[in-house]
Amino acid sequence: MASVASPTGSGLAALHLPLEQPATHYIEPLELEQALRAGAALVDVRSARERADGHLSRSVHLPAREWAAPAAAAAALEQLALLAGRPPSTLILYGMYSRDRAVRCARAAAAAAAGTRVLVLRGGFQQCMAQLWPGSARVARPSAALFASVRAERWGELGRQGLVWLPDLQPVEELLRRLTRCEPPWLPRALPLAFRKRSGDALRAALPYVCEVYGPHAAAAMIPGVSSRAHECGALLHLRCHTIPFEHAARTDRLMVLAVAAAGWLLLYPTALKVRCVVGALVYSFMELAFTKLERGSSYTSFTQFNAVLLYLPILLDLYGALLGDNVLCYILLFPANVWLLEVVVGHAIIWLHGHNVAWCYADYSDAFFNDCARLGHAPAWLALGVACFHLYPWLVAMTEGA
């Protein structure tokens, strides 16, 4: 291979480098599996920090610095031959974008091993994520088995480029995170006893379901049958909207129940109660936006949850207040149980409607109960909400009834 001058690039600046270098041979991401089956050796020349957020499962990690000189390249090839059991006849190298480091490493490898066919993976690991990772918006042929250790939350969509590594996409935020070591979510870090997670295989199994609700949605690609599950289909202001993934009679039944519930709310709820329901649902939606930002690292609330509060608020506050409103201590201390009842009832109603709970997800918490619809660790938050409701809701009742 001829020596080729290659400018140094880093991060998204690499995308401004030529997609192809003269005298460099390339292989497309869609051709990779066939080449690996034919016995090609795959080498990741990225840094350990880049590789930690995902790599190709059959790749050997030999960072670019190990290919810097012909002697170093020869040593890297010897190490690769030892790992593979034989010198490879075909060598495929990839970087993050394969426009800079991988090209330079391929040039060094070709000079050190004249009998080896050296290829560069076009577009690097980033284009493998964009074209082959099942959760990518631009996936051409999903192949989850080709990947290993992918932290989907560390990847974000960048228009036609597809999935891009977040430290490249958001360099300022990444710098601040590394400087402060105080990355979100903040509540589990500040109060670990109140936000105890599952561990080991149980946590790994739960995380795709958590990401299905809160994002990044690319991580939900590992859920069996994810394509037939309810998913986000847009937003109404700050409220996320979701599909109803049923067909024929099952879908008709659910739409009829929704129509009956809406008609009941419109016809049976007094005007003053309707106003309180709307105010309560709006206030709670913004509370949930703030809470999920602290708990999950990203703000989230749903149209489904908003409508559930519209329907259930008379039980949560009016009926509960009628029973315990004269006893401040009982009202506040039992308020978590009041909310847990809401979560169990509403959570299972949402599961029936959408196939899974699109409003919240506690699957990664060790103290979740009742089909992961409620959790004990939120009790302090519900106690605080009870204090607020005890003092503020009677005022709202007086305002609406007086009007």
Least confident of 114-128, 277-291, 364-378: 114-128
Q: What confidence score (pLDDT) does residue 244 get?
A: 94
Q: Enter the DSSP assignment of 37.
A: H
**Token code pair at residue 396:** 């709202």
Query: Model confidence at 188, in pLDDT bands (50, 70, 90)?
Result: confident
> How far is it, in rounded angstroms, from Cα 371 to Cα 363?
9
H/E segment holding residue 74? helix 70-84
**Token code pair at residue 352:** 């029936």
> What is the rounded average pLDDT for all residues in the chain?
87
Strand ranges in 95-179 using DSSP code E only, listed in sequence order: 117-121, 147-148, 155-157, 163-165
Report pLDDT digits (tens) over 204-235: 889 889 989 998 777 777 788 877 899 999 89
Per-residue pLDDT at 15 exceeds 70: no
Q: For the chain, what percent of residues have pLDDT higher than 70?
A: 89
H/E segment holding residue 43? strand 41-44
Exposure on the CB side of residue 25, measured as CA atoms within 13 A? 11
Burial class (CB in 10 A: 0-12, 13-18, 19+), 66: middle
> How far is it, in rounded angstroms, from Cα 168 to Cα 124?
14
> How far is it, in rounded angstroms, from Cα 221 to Cα 209?
10
Q: What confidence score (pLDDT) does residue 186 get?
A: 81
Per-residue pLDDT at 317 exceeds 50: yes
Q: What confidence score (pLDDT) does residue 168 get?
A: 85
> How far is it, in rounded angstroms, from Cα 172 to Cα 315?
46
Q: Are 148 and 55 in contact (CB under 8 A)?
A: yes
Phi, psi dihedral angles at 296 (to 5 degrees): -110, -15
Range with the largest mean pLDDT of 11-15, 94-98, 112-116, 214-218: 94-98
pTM, 2 dp: 0.59
Query: Model confidence at 6, in pLDDT bands (50, 70, 90)?
Result: very low
Amino acid identity for residue 178 in this structure: R
Per-residue pLDDT at 4 exceeds 50: no
Q: What is the β-pairing status of strands 232-236 and 163-165?
A: unpaired
Query: Model confidence at 193, in pLDDT bands (50, 70, 90)?
Result: confident
Least confident of 108-117, 262-271, 308-317: 108-117
Q: Enter the DSSP assignment of 196.
A: P
Nearest to 15 by CA among 106, 109, 133, 95: 95
Per-residue pLDDT at 261 exceeds 70: yes
Can you give the length of the chain in residues?
403
Q: What confidence score (pLDDT) does residue 365 get?
A: 95
Please give the residue that has the higher pLDDT: either 21 or 147. Answer: 147
> How far is it, in rounded angstroms, from Cα 309 to Cα 239?
13
For residues 52-64, average pLDDT? 90
> How far is it, in rounded angstroms, from Cα 217 to Cα 368?
22
For residues 292-297, average pLDDT? 89
> How far is it, in rounded angstroms, from Cα 109 to Cα 172?
35
Q: Enter the DSSP assignment of 365.
A: B
Q: What confidence score (pLDDT) does residue 8 get?
A: 35
Please give the residue that has the higher pLDDT: either 298 or 255. Answer: 255
Report pLDDT digits (tens) over 332-373: 999 999 999 999 999 999 999 999 999 999 999 999 999 999
Please give the residue that has the higher pLDDT: either 173 or 244. Answer: 244
Q: Which residues pair with 232 in a beta bridge?
A: 242
Nearest to 13 by CA among 91, 82, 80, 96: 96
Per-residue pLDDT at 70 exceeds 80: no
Per-residue pLDDT at 86 exceeds 80: no
Per-residue pLDDT at 73 exceeds 90: no
Q: What confidence score (pLDDT) does residue 358 get?
A: 97
For residues 242-250, average pLDDT? 93
Helices 303-313 and 248-268: angle between axes, nearest 10 degrees: 50
